[in-house]
């Protein structure tokens, strides 16, 4: 039985929640391995819509154990609020497991994030302001606060003092903000300890034992490949590794235990926040994609920037993640176009480039080279098999598969849980 990684193959918002939820009934564990509540998954179950930000999508599947791994940064207030919201809708959250090694987002991380972004002005990154970056920075600087620190007040106080010694200097001298009191932060964090303690365990032990016992474990990435801090469009990236390698470090599972890596690929392209975007549409087509596709951030509410499908990015995602499969989402959104442009290469300084430029300046100035595929007008939301799709829709999927370098094993034809065509099993 496999251990699978499921991740975004573009800039995030590709529909990972739908894909994870589709597999949730067949897997034993679903694991978030990086990011924090800057990510967002929308899952539609019947006539119910669930917006998840920190929790793994598998929490909606009764037989599945959801896990928040050590690579995630956790805002305890958000975690408890999200759990309460699901419990009010009669969702059982008691099986959640939380790594004691995960780092905590505190109020001072959020403060630093917001004031730093304002300070950058025109050079701002486009962060969500939720304290993600400063928390990861403290982790790397070895002044971070971990979940397990909540259960030893002496250690917690020492660590908060160490972190604020540096942070308060920056707040007061650089940003002209009031220093944050150590006691206030410690008291706030201790208030979460009792409510969180029941979820905390050694998740790396649990997950490795589960894989050794033949259980199916699904590792779920937040954000997307092009937002990876190492492999994305730096500096317009997140502060962690949503690529496949991040699953190993962010969950404590060795690479030899991963069997398949599934990339979620939207039938067009979107991104949120600042940064280069070669196929971005600033016209009626872009607005139509945004309106029909409901392209508004689950976490931020911000309009997503929309553009045509970019095969260069898809090939790059296949390469850096070692993708074995694609899940193509939102094919239904393209219904109604007479012809659909697909970016097959870039033009950089007059030269055709078919692979992702390693130089950020080249990527920033890349001009998309399009091929045009015939569109379709038929409603595809009721399609149950690949053969049910209109011929032009079938041809579009096949063309994207050939350009992207990995087989498309499932297709989303609508927002509902059951509006998916499964071509090949992921398990």
What CA–CA distance (Å, rounded) separates 321 from 248?
12
13 tagged catalytic: yes
Per-position b or e across 393-427, b if 16+ CB within 10 A of its CB: beebbebbbebbbbebbbbbbbbebebbbebeebe
Q: Give SS3 for 336.
A: coil
The residue annotated as part of the active site, out of 13, 21, 228, 325, is 13
Tell me whether strands 3-8 and 260-266 are parallel, antiparallel or unpaired.
parallel
Distance CA 419, CA 41 (A): 17
Q: If 0-12 CB within 10 Å is exposed, 13-18 middle and 19+ buried, where does residue 210 land? A: buried
Give the number of other Cβ atoms within 10 Å of residue 279's Cβ.
Answer: 24
C-alpha 368/C-alpha 345 separation (Å) is 6
Q: How far apart are CA 196 and CA 227, in angstroms?
A: 30
User: Which residue in the list 21, 28, 41, 364 is annotated as catalytic?
Assistant: 41
The CA-atom distances, in angstroms, between 4 and each of 73, 242, 366 are 22, 14, 34
Catalytic residues: 13, 41
């Amino acid at each position: 039985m496999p251990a699978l990684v499921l991740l975004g193959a573009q800039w995030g918002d590709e529909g990972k929640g739908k894909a994870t939820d589709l597999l949730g009934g067949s897997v034993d564990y679903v694991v978030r391995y990086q990011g924090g509540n800057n990510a967002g998954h929308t899952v539609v179950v019947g006539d119910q819509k669930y917006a998840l930000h920190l929790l793994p999508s598998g929490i909606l599947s009764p037989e599945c154990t959801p896990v928040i791994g050590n690579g995630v940064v956790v805002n305890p207030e958000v975690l408890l609020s999200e759990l309460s919201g699901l419990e009010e809708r009669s969702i059982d959250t008691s099986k959640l497991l939380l790594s004691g090694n995960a780092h905590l987002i505190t109020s001072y991380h959020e403060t630093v994030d917001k004031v730093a972004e304002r300070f950058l002005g025109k050079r701002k990154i486009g962060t969500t302001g939720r304290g993600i970056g400063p928390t990861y920075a403290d982790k790397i600087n070895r002044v971070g606060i971990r979940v397990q620190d909540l259960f030893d007040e002496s250690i917690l106080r020492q660590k908060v003092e160490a972190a604020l010694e540096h942070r308060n200097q920056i707040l007061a001298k650089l940003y002209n903000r009031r220093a944050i009191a150590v006691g206030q932060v410690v008291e706030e964090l201790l208030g979460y300890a009792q409510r969180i303690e029941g979820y905390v365990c050694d998740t790396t032990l649990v997950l490795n034992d589960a894989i050794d016992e033949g259980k199916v474990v699904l590792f779920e990435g937040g954000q997307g490949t092009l937002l990876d801090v190492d492999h994305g469009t730096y500096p317009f990236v997140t502060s962690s590794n949503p690529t496949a390698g991040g699953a190993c470090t962010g969950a404590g599972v060795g690479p030899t235990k991963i069997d398949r890596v599934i990339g979620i690929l939207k039938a067009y392209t979107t991104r949120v926040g600042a940064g280069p975007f070669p196929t971005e549409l600033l016209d009626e087509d872009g607005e139509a994609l945004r309106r029909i596709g409901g392209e508004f951030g689950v976490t931020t509410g911000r309009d997503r920037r929309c553009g045509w499908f970019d095969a260069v990015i898809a090939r790059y995602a296949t390469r850096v993640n070692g993708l074995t499969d694609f899940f193509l989402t939102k094919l239904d959104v393209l219904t109604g176009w007479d012809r659909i442009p697909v970016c097959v290469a870039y033009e950089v300084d007059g030269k055709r480039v078919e692979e992702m430029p390693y130089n950020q300046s080249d990527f920033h100035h890349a001009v998309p080279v399009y091929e045009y595929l015939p569109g379709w007008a038929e409603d595809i939301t009721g399609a149950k098999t690949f053969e049910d799709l209109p011929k032009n829709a079938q041809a579009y999927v096949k063309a994207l598969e050939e350009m992207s370098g990995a087989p498309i094993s499932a297709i989303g034809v609508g927002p509902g849980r059951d509006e998916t065509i499964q071509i090949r099993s992921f398990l």
